[in-house]
Amino acid sequence: MMQILYSMISKKVNKFLLQIKNDSRLEKTACEETHIFSPELSTLLKRIASVLLFSVLLSFRSGAAFADLGSAADQCRDKNLYPKVRYAACNKALNSGDVLTEDAPSIHLQIARYHEEQKRFDVALEVYDRLISTFPHYALGYIGRGQLHLRRREHDLAINDLAEAIRLDPELQIAYFLRGSIYHVQGLREKSLSDLNEAVRLNPNDARSHSTRAVLLADIGQYDAATSDIEHAIDLAPDDAFVRGERGAVFRRKGNLDEAIKDFEFALSKDPTLAFVYFERGTAYARKNDYEQAIIDFDQTLKLNPNDDLAHYNKAVSLEALGKTNAALQSYGQAVSANPRFKEAFYNKAILLWQKGLHSGAVNEFEAVLGLAPNSPRALNGLVWILSSTRDATIRNGPRAVRLAHKLLKLSDIAEDHAAYAAALAETGDFPGAIEEQQKAINKSTVVGRPAMIEAFSRMLVLFKANRPYRLEEFEN
């Protein structure tokens, strides 16, 4: 670097000396125009270059911008500069007015992205809010804020911003890609496919739009279309880590677990920060019953994205498979903390608490499921069993259990539902009704050929015929 500075200074000094000659009307020669410095002058120039180099290094350290690289606005947009230097330049451009009005939105955008890179997400959000408030017709501002909301897993807010970006610029391909990706995560597959189709139409050569659509197609069982899409994506970008990770995701959905893991390993060798690839690989290992390795990958996912509710959930399932129930309960709890609408996590936590005899906690989790899905047969069934049959008299509530059982049987008609209703009737003292419902439960178990259930339900029937209510602990023991 010092040699470059020396060369720059030499040219400037040489030009200055030649200008003196011109001004003095001295005769120029070819030799004079390519002036060769004396050893003394060369030494002096090298010393000056050393001082300037030290100053440049200090500038990098302090985040200050330097004039030789152009205006502050130019430095702000120069992605080759050290991030702190760019950030300082962006602020300088805005504060000094060294920016055209039409360039101001992009300068704000650079500042917001810098804060994102530094993981100062709240500060970044404030900058995006200011940007959009000042320039409400700047579509890329909504894209930036939408991506930040997506990063924070605030999906509904992200979708709102992306929809506004599309309204302002219907040809903005990235907006359709991002919104389609979010819809996919939310399970809104028709909306996701519509947006991803539009993203591919607007840019047929965008490999990631093809690869993300391929994963969606695999999720809905259209494996031939998924294979075609993902192989086209690979042709477009054979070494793209994201695309290779998504091909692995397609392989996993098709059941080709070993091929999937190969793609995941390739993707992570290219980019070890891809959280979704660790998640996908962990899920593949879990499918292979390698729960220890699966947990390692889920932990890595969570290291990169601590609020990934699905990673917490899959980790909990793997821990439960290993018999580590206390750790599993903790992970289920983290899943619902990250996503308070995660019904499956609440339900699994309820069942695990029930199995551990922690009936009060199980009731709370079943109630949480019903708060999100009032007609969930599984949650209704679990709640009826506990309210009618726990030994804890402070929890038992026969009349409510009967009311819930009436609702349950309008939604589901399997053996376990009739047995739960029978237990509720017995708790209220209606033993004839309990006997009738229990016989229905036994008959339905016989039809589907479930001998263990027939035996358990027959033991309950004996209790009801003796005018005794059923208690869960008897069944569990």
What confidence score (pLDDT) does residue 16 get?
38
Q: Is residue 39 part of a domain?
A: yes
pLDDT digits (tens, 9 = 90+) for 308-326: 999 999 999 999 999 999 9
Residue 289 counted as domain residue: no
Domain end marker among 29, 45, 62:
62
CATH number at residue 427: 1.25.40.10
How many domains is the chain partitioned into structurally?
Answer: 2
pLDDT value of position 292: 98
Q: What are the tens digits of pLDDT across the range 404-443?
A: 999 999 999 999 999 999 999 999 999 999 999 999 999 9
Residue 416 domain flag: yes
Domain boundary among 14, 42, 62: 62
Would you say residue 212 lies in a domain? no
Range of the structural domain that residue 406 is part of: 341-477
User: Taking the model in full, what pTM does it have?
Assistant: 0.76
418 within a domain of the structure (yes/no): yes
Is 16 within the bounds of a domain? yes
Quickly count helices (H) and strands (E) in the chain.
27, 0
Which of 43, 62, 81 is the last residue before a domain boundary? 62
> What parts of the chain have a pLDDT lower than 50?
1-38, 41, 44-45, 48-49, 51-69, 477
Query: Residue 64: its pLDDT value, please?
Result: 41
Q: Is residue 40 assigned to a domain?
A: yes
In a domain, 211, yes or no: no
